[in-house]
Copies of this chain bind each other. A is one copy, B any other.
Amino acid sequence: MAESVVLDTVDLQILRLLQNDARTTYRELAAEVGVAPSTCLDRVTRLRRTGVILGHQLRLDPAKLGRGLEALLLVQVRPHRRELIGPFVERIRALPESRALFHLTGPDDYLVHVTVADPADLQRLVLDEFTSQREVARVETRLIFQQWECGPLMPPGAGPSLSAV
Considering only residues 86-112 of chain A, those with a C-beta below 8 Å from chain B are: 89, 92-96, 98-106, 108, 111
B54 touches A156 (CB 8 A): no
Known: A116-B156, A140-B106, A156-B121. A15 touches B151 (CB 8 A): no
Among the listed B7, B52, B67, which residue makes an inter-chain contact with A156, where contact means beta carbons less than 8 Å apart? B67
| Contact count band on A | 35 or more
Residue on B nearest A68 in the bound complex, by CB: B165
B144 touches A94 (CB 8 A): no
Known: A58-B53, A155-B65. A145 touches B104 (CB 8 A): yes
Identical chains bound together, number: 2
Once the chains are docked, how many angstroms separate the CA of A106 from the CA of B145? 11
Among the listed B7, B63, B99, B153, which residue makes an inter-chain contact with A165, where contact means beta carbons less than 8 Å apart? B63
- In addition to A72-B111, A105-B142, 5 A-B residue pairs with Cβ atoms within 8 Å of each other are A22-B56, A22-B58, A52-B61, A66-B155, A108-B142
